[in-house]
Chain A
Amino acid sequence: MARIGVFICHCGENISATVDVMKVAAEAAKIPGVAHSVEYKYMCSDPGQQLVKNAIREKGLTGVVVAACSPRMHEPTFRRACAEAGLNPFLCEMANIREHCSWVHEKGDATTDKAIDIVRTLVAKVKKNKALQPIKVPVTKVAMVIGGGIAGIQASLDIANAGHQVILVEKEPSIGGHMSQLSETFPTLDCSQCILTPRMVEVAQHLNITLFSYAELESLDGFIGNFKARIRKKARSLDEKLCTGCGLCTQKCPSRRIPSEFDAGLGLRPAIYVPFPQAVPNKPVIDREHCTYYRTGKCRLCEKVCPTQAIRFDQQDEIVEADVGAVVLATGFDIKHGDFFPEYGYGKYRDVIDGLQFERLASASGPTLGEIRRPSDGRVPETVVFVACAGSRDPAKGIEYCSKICCMYTAKHAMLYKHKVHHGKPYVFYMDIRAGGKMYEEFVRRAMEEDGVQYVRGRVSRIFERGGKLVVKGVDTLLAARPLEIEADLVVLATAGIAQPGAEELAQKLHVSYDAHKFYAEAHPKLRPVETNTAGIFLAGACQAPKDIPESVAQASGAAAKVAALFSQSELVREPLIAVVDRQAPPVYSSCVGCFLCQSACPYQAIEKEEIRGRDGQLLKTVAKVNPGLCQGCGTCVAFCRTKSIDIQGFSHEQVHAEVLALLNRGERDA
């Protein structure tokens, strides 16, 4: 006879404000098989858990239902408590009366009734629960880091320094990410390249790190500790082992008028190129779209000049397979480009540029060698207008969130400009200044007080060109919202920080969730900021949301610590919520008829054939068998099996049926 305990949580007021928890407890007590029913303010707290443990011991409970929040939140908590009291943890179930009830309904009898129904179904289920044993799986102690910006670099180095192997996959010809494009960095104004390039070199030289640059993830299968990655190494069109990085080819290549991605379109590069002189690896790639040979079939000049005969025009993409135990996603972000702001002439006027372009103008390695010169005519701009929130906090033309980094880099830009053009006049149009962070507010104050940057509180309505000047029509809302007009030589838009263009596709390959803006979603916004909802896949840097370098690095180190913790175990414990094929005593052995429809349906290739032989070795029957290491518990096979011979442990036909009946019977009673 079942003895079920029901524990109803108020969740502070999260539940009790809309659900009458007393009534739920009273009603639950009346359900046949319920031996104990109580409510408490915080069931997950220590005294709350103690209530569960004591009841198990004192009342000899055979099953537990905790009516509280989502199982995603606290199922592990309560299962652990049950185990500590000697009850098999899989005999404990959560009835979600918060997300599925109190949060989504108004206070009232109907809401309380729904909560009671939810409890009723879980009681019915738990009566059918069976004690299960967790599955143990080995861990492959190799991490794959995707994205070689500062976040990916930091995560790789930290994991490698902890003694584990790292595979770093970067889609561009060089690692470095956006940080390599920056001139100097807030809030200290240290040179970006100077702090970044040593780390890039360290990555290249680290014995534990294998770098695949110009490569992308093709697919990822498996599960935590046991992933299988397929990586596409895009054809560089040269033999990396032979190439010495001498650069002769890049100097001789005749098609040289290609806008450089690294210089944000402000400089030019040849068809065979290295993105920037400090690139890692320092090996060129041929951009086949622009290369004369690939376009016309003639040229091959690089091949002729290459002293080591490294050029390979017929090279194909290569697929590399790797077993990895954990993945760190560090694919970074992008900024909004194009003519999404027609009233600002962005994409139309050459002297209306974005923040990254300004970084290149200010960078000693940039197209102007660090002199601020405007793109149209190369003149030094006397007046520069910086526009913050260009597309951020702008549901109409951009995105509704705050990109977080622009206030700071705009202050930096205005400052750098003033440092380089002493007589120049920098203006910043802003709505709010968000400078929370160590030394951040002080940095912005410095821009205003020491460098005399003119901050104008208001938005710009329109920018148009007149006689070689850009007329900026703005407003100062602190001056009675009077319109202002500034004739500028250069306008810098702090365009919104957005997700990488390929973010969604990659997320789907990895089965990780992402938000409406295609930024990767953390498992919990406060308590699990570096994990995804997929076990074994972690997050670092601006792929999760726009963030600055200190935050990206901190998160990367956090992700690396998570990976190291994972790799510190030799075995992992997995929940046994997997498919099992029916087994019976002879002479039936199994209800499975051996049609193997399940095998073709399983997306994880987890179904094998098992031959059942008699004592004499004679083949009696061939039946399906599930490999517990591969099965993900998706249940596809269950739906396919015609003889109902496959079940998912923990969600068996019997259990689900009992839940449904509990609801239906309630309907009969009400009628």
Chain B
Amino acid sequence: MKTGFYPGCSMKGSAREYSESLLALAREIGRELPEVPDWNCCGATAAHNLDRDLALALPARILAAAEKAGMDEVLVPCAACYSRLKVTRHELLADDSLRQRISGLVEADYRGSAGVLNIIEWLGRVPDLEKLVKKPFQRKVACYYGCLLVRPAGVVKFDRPEDPQSMDLLMKKIGADPIDWAFKTECCGAGFSVSRTDLVARLSGQILDDAVSRGAEAVVVACPMCHLNLDLRRPNIEKRAGKKFHLPVIYITQAVGMALGLKPKQLGLQRHKVSPSALLAPASAKPPAGSKSASGDSPASAPLSGSSAGAPASTASKVN
């Protein structure tokens, strides 16, 4: 099984630390991650907003290149790119004439043999991750999946679209305490980071607000776009909210890397706008406590008391 790696544009630039931490992690666990040869941009939001064929052709060119290089699957750590690649593969496999037309556009015979893998799936495959942990990441974390890892459910077929759990499970494996919160899959403002910063400030602000109010010590993300909005746009968010959020946002690979004992520099932790230095200090001694909410636990545990049911009436019931 040959797994290729599609970094995508932001991991070469504004999300450099995502790729640094991923590659450091891959080295640590002894995985090769060869890049897809001569890969191009997936087209992101811009392409599918403006032209359908272009939106399919750009990812198809990447996938065709991976196929040609004999890759069985491609790891796409950026959730946005993952979505574009996954949607393209889905649509082209569902419609053969479309597949042929797009193949013509990209001047390669795209067959759809290479699968598309997201970062959680890739990390989930590391055998006995728990045993590799050197420094349990004993933090309350808010696992932020964003939109595109889990939606549209029929295409990505990964985890459940509401209240997903896969990242939470992964965090538990490295000793973290994932909180039960409400904004796991709400939108952060996505591609509006530059063009509509005002909207990003509002949407991302709601996400941070909820995470902070439930005691999260960090938000864990798997998408450079989400990171950009939640971290780099922090000044805008705080300005709009009229308050400060001292909540670092880290990539899932950085969280796992820290637990595996990698150095902050190796993980690119110095590159964040909101410093994650608090996470580097030894975790407070308290064991990770379950975050119990007012009405969150199991329904049958304590039904209303004062029931008279169960005992048969010894007197006749009142009947009109």
> Is the CB of B312 closer than 8 A to any CB of chain A?
yes
| Selected contact of A467 from candidates B213, B303, B319, CB within 8 Å | B213
Name the B residues within 8 Å of A377 (CB-CB).
294-295
Contact A267 B319 (CB under 8 A): no
Name the A residues within 8 Å of B210 (CB-CB).
466
Contact with A along B99-116 (1 / 0, CB 8 A): 000000000000000000
- Chain A min CB distance to B317 (Å): 4
Name the A residues within 8 Å of B294 (CB-CB).
376-377, 465, 467-468
Complex formed: what's the CA distance from A531 to B33 in Å? 68
Contact B306 A368 (CB under 8 A): yes
Complex formed: what's the CA distance from A644 to B279 in Å? 88
* Chain B residues numbered 176-233 whose CB sits less than 8 Å from any CB in chain A: 182, 210, 213
| Selected contact of B182 from candidates A279, A368, A471, CB within 8 Å | A471
- Contacts A265-B303, A467-B213 known; A250 to B310 CB distance under 8 Å? yes
- Contacts A194-B319, A197-B317, A350-B297 known; A466 to B182 CB distance under 8 Å? yes
Closest to A342 in B: B162
Closest to A191 in B: B320
| Selected contact of A375 from candidates B162, B304, B319, B320, CB within 8 Å | B304
Name the A residues within 8 Å of B160 (CB-CB).
342
- Chain A min CB distance to B298 (Å): 8
Contact A367 B307 (CB under 8 A): yes
Contact B303 A259 (CB under 8 A): yes
- Contacts A250-B310, A466-B210 known; A265 to B317 CB distance under 8 Å? no
Name the B residues within 8 Å of A365 (CB-CB).
308-309
> Is the CB of B97 closer than 8 A to any CB of chain A?
no
* Chain B residues numbered 275-320 whose CB sits less than 8 Å from any CB in chain A: 293-297, 299-300, 303-314, 317-320
Contact A256 B320 (CB under 8 A): no
Contact with A along B139-171 (1 / 0, CB 8 A): 000000000000000000000111100000000
Contact A277 B311 (CB under 8 A): yes
Name the B residues within 8 Å of A274 (CB-CB).
310-312
Contact A263 B312 (CB under 8 A): no
- Chain A min CB distance to B269 (Å): 31
- Contacts A198-B319, A465-B182, A465-B293 known; A277 to B313 CB distance under 8 Å? yes
- Contacts A277-B311, A278-B313, A367-B309 known; A267 to B295 CB distance under 8 Å? no
> Is the CB of A604 closer than 8 A to any CB of chain B?
no
Contact A367 B310 (CB under 8 A): no
Closest to A464 in B: B182
Interface of B is mostly: loop
Complex formed: what's the CA distance from A250 to B311 in Å? 6
Contact B312 A250 (CB under 8 A): yes
Contact B317 A278 (CB under 8 A): yes
Name the B residues within 8 Å of A558 (CB-CB).
none
Closest to A263 in B: B309
Closest to B310 in A: A269
- Contacts A250-B310, A342-B160, A376-B294 known; A194 to B300 CB distance under 8 Å? no
Name the B residues within 8 Å of A268 (CB-CB).
303, 305, 307, 309-310
Contact B299 A350 (CB under 8 A): yes
The total of chain A residues at the interface (CB under 8 A) is 59
**Which of B210, B213, B319: most chain A CB closer than 10 A?**
B319
> Is the CB of A131 closer than 8 A to any CB of chain B?
no
Contact A265 B300 (CB under 8 A): yes
Contact B306 A367 (CB under 8 A): yes
- Contacts A275-B309, A277-B309 known; A378 to B314 CB distance under 8 Å? no
Name the B residues within 8 Å of A466 (CB-CB).
182, 210, 213
> Is the CB of A246 closer than 8 A to any CB of chain B?
yes
Name the A residues within 8 Å of B308 (CB-CB).
277, 365, 369
Contact B295 A349 (CB under 8 A): yes
Name the B residues within 8 Å of A270 (CB-CB).
310
Contact A260 B309 (CB under 8 A): yes
> Is the CB of A262 closer than 8 A to any CB of chain B?
yes
> Is the CB of A273 closer than 8 A to any CB of chain B?
yes
> Is the CB of A33 closer than 8 A to any CB of chain B?
no
Name the A residues within 8 Å of B162 (CB-CB).
342-343
Contact B320 A279 (CB under 8 A): no
Complex formed: what's the CA distance from A468 to B214 in Å? 12
- Chain A min CB distance to B311 (Å): 5
- Chain B min CB distance to A312 (Å): 18
- Chain B min CB distance to A148 (Å): 17
Name the A residues within 8 Å of B305 (CB-CB).
268, 367
> Is the CB of A635 closer than 8 A to any CB of chain B?
no
Complex formed: what's the CA distance from A251 to B163 in Å? 42
Complex formed: what's the CA distance from A365 to B308 in Å? 7
Closest to A247 in B: B312
| Selected contact of A350 from candidates B163, B295, B318, CB within 8 Å | B295
Contact A369 B306 (CB under 8 A): yes
Closest to A468 in B: B294
* Chain B residues numbered 47-61 whose CB sits less than 8 Å from any CB in chain A: none
Contact B297 A277 (CB under 8 A): no
| Selected contact of B307 from candidates A195, A260, A373, CB within 8 Å | A260
- Chain B min CB distance to A199 (Å): 10
Contact with B along A174-193 (1 / 0, CB 8 A): 00000000000000000101
> Is the CB of A282 closer than 8 A to any CB of chain B?
yes
Name the A residues within 8 Å of B306 (CB-CB).
367-369
Closest to B314 in A: A247
- Chain A min CB distance to B36 (Å): 35
Name the A residues within 8 Å of B319 (CB-CB).
193-194, 197-198, 201
Complex formed: what's the CA distance from A193 to B309 in Å? 14
Closest to B293 in A: A465
> Is the CB of A326 closer than 8 A to any CB of chain B?
no
Complex formed: what's the CA distance from A500 to B303 in Å? 25
Complex formed: what's the CA distance from A465 to B294 in Å? 8
Name the B residues within 8 Å of A245 (CB-CB).
312
* Chain A residues numbered 138-152 whose CB sits less than 8 Å from any CB in chain B: none
Contact B182 A267 (CB under 8 A): no
Contact with B along A476-502 (1 / 0, CB 8 A): 000000000000000000000000000
**Which of A195, A267, A273, A366: most chain B CB closer than 10 A?**
A267
Closest to B181 in A: A464
Complex formed: what's the CA distance from A374 to B299 in Å? 12
Name the B residues within 8 Å of A349 (CB-CB).
295-296
Name the A residues within 8 Å of B311 (CB-CB).
247, 250-251, 274, 277
> Is the CB of A426 closer than 8 A to any CB of chain B?
no
Complex formed: what's the CA distance from A279 to B306 in Å? 19
Complex formed: what's the CA distance from A279 to B305 in Å? 21
- Chain B min CB distance to A488 (Å): 11
Name the B residues within 8 Å of A471 (CB-CB).
182
- Contacts A247-B314, A251-B311, A376-B295 known; A342 to B303 CB distance under 8 Å? no
- Chain B min CB distance to A336 (Å): 15
> Is the CB of A348 closer than 8 A to any CB of chain B?
yes
- Chain A min CB distance to B184 (Å): 10
Closest to B294 in A: A468
- Contacts A260-B309, A274-B310 known; A267 to B303 CB distance under 8 Å? yes
Name the B residues within 8 Å of A282 (CB-CB).
312-313
Closest to B183 in A: A464
Name the A residues within 8 Å of B320 (CB-CB).
191, 194-195
| Selected contact of A277 from candidates B182, B303, B304, B312, CB within 8 Å | B312
Closest to A375 in B: B304
* Chain A residues numbered 334-375 whose CB sits less than 8 Å from any CB in chain B: 342-343, 347-351, 361, 365-369, 373-375
14 contacts between A and B (CB under 8 A): A247-B312, A250-B312, A263-B307, A268-B310, A349-B295, A350-B297, A351-B295, A365-B308, A367-B306, A367-B307, A374-B295, A378-B304, A466-B182, A470-B295
Q: What 11 new A-B contacts, CB under 8 Å, besides A268-B309, A278-B313? A: A247-B312, A247-B314, A250-B310, A259-B303, A268-B307, A269-B310, A283-B312, A349-B296, A350-B297, A373-B304, A467-B213
Give residues in B with beta carbon < 8 Å to A.
160-163, 182, 210, 213, 293-297, 299-300, 303-314, 317-320
